[in-house]
Amino acid sequence: MSAAEGELLELAVRIAGAAKSGEELEVYVSRGVETDIRAYEGEVESLSSAASAGVGIRVVIGGRQGFAYAGTLDESVIKQTLADARDNATFATADEHVGLAGPDGVAPTSLDLWDDEVLRTPSAAKVEMALELERRARNADVRVRQVAFADYGDMAAEAAVASSTGITATARRTVSSVAVETIAGADADSQTGVGFSAARGPGELDLDKAVADAVERSTRMLGATKARSGKCAVVLDPRVTSTLLAVVSSALSGEAVTKGRSFFADRVGEEVAVPSLVLVDDPTDARSFGASTHDAEGLACRRNVLIENGVLRGFVFDTTSARRAGVVSTASAVRGGYATTPVAGCRALLLSPGTLGAADILSQVGEALFVQSITGVHSGVNPVSGDFSVGAEGLMVRDGVLAEPVREVTIASTLQRMLQSVLHIGSDVEWLPGVAAGQTVAIDGMALSGS
Amino acid sequence: MSDAGSATGLLVETPVIERVLGAALQRGGEFAEVFVEDRHSTSAVLDDGRVEELSSGRDRGAGVRVVVGETTGYAHTADLSERGLLAAAEAAAAVARQGGGGRAVALERRESVKRNEVGQLPEEVSKARKIELLVQADEAARASGNAISQVSASYGDGRRRIQIANSDGILVADDQVRTRFSVSCVAVGDTGMQTGYESSAFTVGFELFDTVDVREVAATAARRALVKLTARPAPSGEVPLILESGSGGILFHEACGHGLEADHIAKDASVYVGQVGEQVASPLVTLVDDGTIGPEWGSFAVDDEGNSAQRNVLIDKGVLTDYMWDYLRGRKDNRGSSGNGRRQNYRHLPMVRMTNTFLLNGDAEPDEILAQTPTGVYVAKLGGGQVNTTTGDFVFGTVEAYLIEDGHLTEPLRDANLIGNGPEVLRRIDAVANDFAMGPGTCGKDGQSVPVGCGQPTLRITGVTIGGTAGD
């Protein structure tokens, strides 16, 4: 534990110590610093630096939960926040399942998710990275008309949680990233592509990869047209796979399942996917950007197998949803920061990699739509019904290789059918920011709508 | 707006702000701004038949912006003491490397124009009364049909007091009160589960519930879920589309609104670059962005740069008249802001954002438009959407839609995404009715969310691609 984490934990423990008899009290405190830099036409367009801190307090009295938060660690404000949380609890409906986590004897995995370089690197060096990124993107290809954004960003966050039920835990992590969007043009046609690189610290960033990705994605879309409507196989880019796994994960949350909001409810033990599909949420894998030593309720994170050889094995639970389901927490409580309460969710999903690389998958599939990016995920994918319809752009696959570009089409199916129609899962795992890693995945029988 | 934040009670006293602005300019900054915000919010959720949680929160802080040439420096702090503000000013000023210069700033208080009076501040209403609304909604949703298997009702209110001062000598404050209520339902049938959602949200206080019956909000959400239990898959391919009034203002928000934001224009990242004065839409299209409409969700007295909200005509009878501007984009083009500089909170830089964006009425009768459409899809409610401003390609999801056959609504359709190209769709509008209505939304851009309004009368688009699976 760092000195700063110790300080936060001490504060959390002290406030949690104020619990009255018959009351469960949980205090979550967090603190972080952030830098965001945007370069444009050789100049710094903006440089933001910020430090923020806050506290979120949960009180459970007789199965009634109340919550309050404040964007400060000022102790007089924290006292008022505690009083608000207590008052709020009196208005909830009593529920025997509602309660805070208690120690469950699982020891946390030791993970190094912190790179001091985020704090040590001077602003000037970070500015230079953003400028360099923009310069390289602008000069990478004659077809690049414009660099819509070239950003450097980083954050270092520390949090502590303590409760009257015996929880004391801390976690800290850093993330550093560069992201760039290029606009490629030919005559009246303009197309965009985003590339990025993310790591624990600035020293590990790969500017050339970010630029090459953006340039490839924007230039290869030039001349794209609508494709004809019809049934086809799709080959998903690793980023698209990661996005889709994140949507599927909301149907694997114990909260959704116990409240009848998941198409996976009541299906444990059934074959929900092709036999080659294995899906695991493992926040103890340090390669994942969602890795964490503890969950948001202070339990040690652990590896949870969700789908094994196509068979649904279980869900992710926080304490309350686990009690409702009659199981124990899988240490999968997540929270969006001090201003929200913990809920069950995945952090670090990974599909077990297959043996084929991206090029092999294209060659095996023969004819398909390679999907470079999708849009409308939040409006078009329903994790309750499983209905799936998203905007897509990419390239046709003909004779096993990438052919002409395609835009302004949709691909549709249901999540249930897609899981049963997976043709190939690639070996090309990419660790991406977000809750899921991605790799090339081919799925058969999608409805493509175009002209 | 309430009196609390206007004539009285600045969040930070004027002499302190003047010194902070002075510090922000001391390294040679050309423009400096202090944005102070104090936000209280309450939310309550009833889910699975239980009041799960009442939550209250407070966030206050300030952001200091310094502009030098093409560069902006920004720093924020939750510490509103003079020491905290000066530290933020120095951090923001660090982008001005040339040093020297510096000047004193004298502020002059400007009163903000009141848009509407808040009838009842939500903070003065008992929590029990707010919970009661949730219970009413839950009962109404469950009474809508036995197939309703799950109901979640959500209440929220927020009071946001802001104060903006800048080196042009402006000092202005606003007190923004917003109240919202939403219900989502799950219905279960032989074909699986379906969902329905409805919300009501306005820039008003608790008097919202004098005119909005939460039981009707709940019944609408329940009906949307129930109707889809018997829905067939949506068609696949290009179809004529009718958008019911108030159902799909998001289309114009996505299809052209974002492309008319001056920051996208400045970077050539919009299909509307260089199109002012050009016919960019059907002559039936007049598009307005208007932050002054009293109670609408995207309204305010002053924007987050201290400029008064305005009514801006963007497209007049199909001809592009202007873009939307914030301080920085206006400055670069030697013109003023159009009152579109907004930010999520004090932790963020402002940027060009929409307020309430809508298409004005036409002359047609909505019934006639339907009767004159032999086949197609009728959208009674759209969900969210997304646009690539550079290509103009957008998507948006349907959450209540029907098949049109022989000029009549026939079967309900399962959810699907529509995809199109902004400029093309605007040219394909061939009928606009006289039944304008608006609704609330949340707009995300560059990681920041702000409340917006969207609206349109019933209208027809001759062809849009719908991404269903019919034909399987």
Angstrom distance (rounded) from CA B128 to CA A92: 10
CB contact set of A218 (below 8 Å; sequence gap of 6+): A143, A144, A182, A183, A184, A191, A192, A193
User: Taking CB atoms and an 8 Å cutoff, what residues of chain A touch B67?
Assistant: none
Other CB atoms within 10 Å distance of the CB of residue A141: 17
- The answer to whether A95 contacts chain B (CB < 8 Å) is yes
For residue B3, what pLDDT is reported? 37
Q: Are B75 and A50 a contacting pair at CB < 8 A?
A: yes
User: Taking CB atoms and an 8 Å cutoff, what residues of chain A touch B61?
Assistant: 52, 71
Question: Do A303 and A188 share a structural domain?
Answer: no
DSSP letters spanning B106-121 = --EE-PPPP----SS-
Summarize pLDDT for B196-214 with one digit per residue, the tens: 999 999 999 999 999 999 9
* Residue at a domain's end among A188, A219, A250: A219
For residue B471, what pLDDT is reported? 63
Cβ-contact A129, A35 below 8 angstroms: no
User: Taking CB atoms and an 8 Å cutoff, what residues of chain A touch B95?
Assistant: 44, 47
For residue A122, what pLDDT is reported? 93
Cβ-contact B185, B196 below 8 angstroms: yes
Q: Are B465 and A449 a contacting pair at CB < 8 A?
A: yes
User: Taking CB atoms and an 8 Å cutoff, what residues of chain A touch B98?
Assistant: none
Nearest CA of chain B to the CA of A227: how many Å? 10
Question: Do A175 and A28 share a structural domain?
Answer: yes
Q: Are A380 and B415 a contacting pair at CB < 8 A?
A: yes
Statement: residue B116 has pLDDT above 80: no
User: CA-nearest residue of chain B to A98?
Assistant: B52
CB contact set of A369 (below 8 Å; sequence gap of 6+): A227, A232, A233, A234, A235, A392, A394, A395, A396, A397, A406, A409, A411, A446, A448
For residue B28, what pLDDT is reported? 87
Q: Where are the alpha helices (DSSP H) in B143-229?
A: 208-211, 214-229
For residue B98, what pLDDT is reported? 59
Question: Do A267 and A138 share a structural domain?
Answer: no
* Residue at a domain's end among A219, A253, A278: A219
Mean pLDDT of B263-272: 92
Angstrom distance (rounded) from CA A14 to CA A381: 44
User: CA-nearest residue of chain B to A81?
Assistant: B57
Q: How many Å separate Cα B165 from the centre of its chain?
A: 24
Nearest CA of chain B to the CA of A391: how many Å? 6
User: CA-nearest residue of chain A to B64?
Assistant: A48
Q: What are the C-alpha distances in Å from B27 to residues B89, B97, B103, B155?
A: 11, 7, 10, 47
Summarize pLDDT for A57-68 with one digit per residue, the tens: 999 999 999 999
Instruction: Sort residue A12 into left (φ over 0), alpha (ψ -120 to 50) or beta.
Output: alpha
User: Taking CB atoms and an 8 Å cutoff, what residues of chain A touch B396?
Assistant: 376, 379
Q: What are the C-alpha distances in Å from B10 to residues B16, B107, B109, B171, B279?
A: 11, 13, 10, 10, 46
Q: What are the C-alpha distances in Å from B224 to residues A74, A368, B241, B402, B466?
A: 46, 35, 19, 11, 19
Cβ-contact A427, B214 below 8 angstroms: no
Summarize pLDDT for B414-438 with one digit per residue, the tens: 998 999 999 999 999 999 999 999 9
Question: Do A233 and A215 share a structural domain?
Answer: no
User: Taking CB atoms and an 8 Å cutoff, what residues of chain B touch A131?
Assistant: none
Return the bridge partners of B454, or none.
Answer: B357, B439
The overall average pLDDT reported for chain B is 92
> pLDDT band at residue B7, thresholds of 50, 70 and 90?
very low
Q: Which of B286, B90, B199, B269 is nearest to A145 (CA)?
A: B269
One-letter amino acid of A347 = R
Question: Do A179 and A46 share a structural domain?
Answer: yes
Q: How many Å separate Cα A425 from the centre of its chain?
A: 20
For residue A208, what pLDDT is reported? 98
Cβ-contact B187, B226 below 8 angstroms: yes
Angstrom distance (rounded) from CA B239 to CA B379: 12
Q: Which of A190, A348, A332, A192 is nearest to A283 (CA)?
A: A348
- Give chain A's domain count: 2
For residue B1, what pLDDT is reported? 33
Start and end residues for every CATH 3.30.2290.10 domain found in chain B = 14-229
Other CB atoms within 10 Å distance of the CB of residue B449: 12
Return the bridge partners of B461, or none.
Answer: B241, B429
Angstrom distance (rounded) from CA B343 to CA B354: 11
Return the structure tokens found at B114. 């009141």
For chain A positions 419-448, those within 8 Å of chain B (CB to CB) are: 447-448
Question: Do A289 and A184 share a structural domain?
Answer: no
What percent of chain B clears pLDDT 90, i.e. is strictly above it? 82
Statement: residue A151 has pLDDT above 50: yes
Nearest CA of chain A to the CA of B139: how many Å? 15
Owning domain of residue A270: 224-451
Return the structure tokens found at A349. 């999903």
Question: Do A400 and A342 share a structural domain?
Answer: yes
* Residue at a domain's end among A186, A219, A252: A219
For position A130, which CATH number holds? 3.30.2290.10
For residue B283, what pLDDT is reported? 97
For residue B6, what pLDDT is reported? 40
Summarize pLDDT for A254-292 with one digit per residue, the tens: 999 999 999 999 999 999 999 999 999 999 999 999 999
Mean pLDDT of A188-198: 95
Q: Are B78 and A261 a contacting pair at CB < 8 A?
A: no
For chain A positions 247-286, those within 8 Å of chain B (CB to CB) are: 259-261, 263
For residue B472, what pLDDT is reported? 52
Question: Do A213 and A164 share a structural domain?
Answer: yes
Between β-strands B287-290 and B356-359, what pairing exists: parallel, antiparallel or unpaired?
antiparallel
Question: Do A210 and A260 share a structural domain?
Answer: no
One-letter amino acid of B396 = F
Return the bridge partners of A60, or none.
Answer: A24, A65
| B247 DSSP 8-state letter | T
What DSSP element (H or E) covers B440?
strand B437-445
User: CA-nearest residue of chain A to B236?
Assistant: A449
CATH topology classification for B14-229: PmbA/TldD fold (3.30.2290)
> pLDDT band at residue B94, thresholds of 50, 70 and 90?
confident
Q: Which of A202, A208, A3, A37 is nearest to A120 (CA)?
A: A202
| B259 DSSP 8-state letter | G
DSSP letters spanning B365-413 = -HHHHHHT-SEEEEEEEEEEEEE-TTT-EEEEEEEEEEEEETTEEEEEE
Angstrom distance (rounded) from CA A152 to CA A173: 17
> pLDDT band at residue B278, thresholds of 50, 70 and 90?
very high
Complex ipTM: 0.89
Statement: residue A200 has pLDDT above 60: yes
Statement: residue A7 has pLDDT above 90: yes
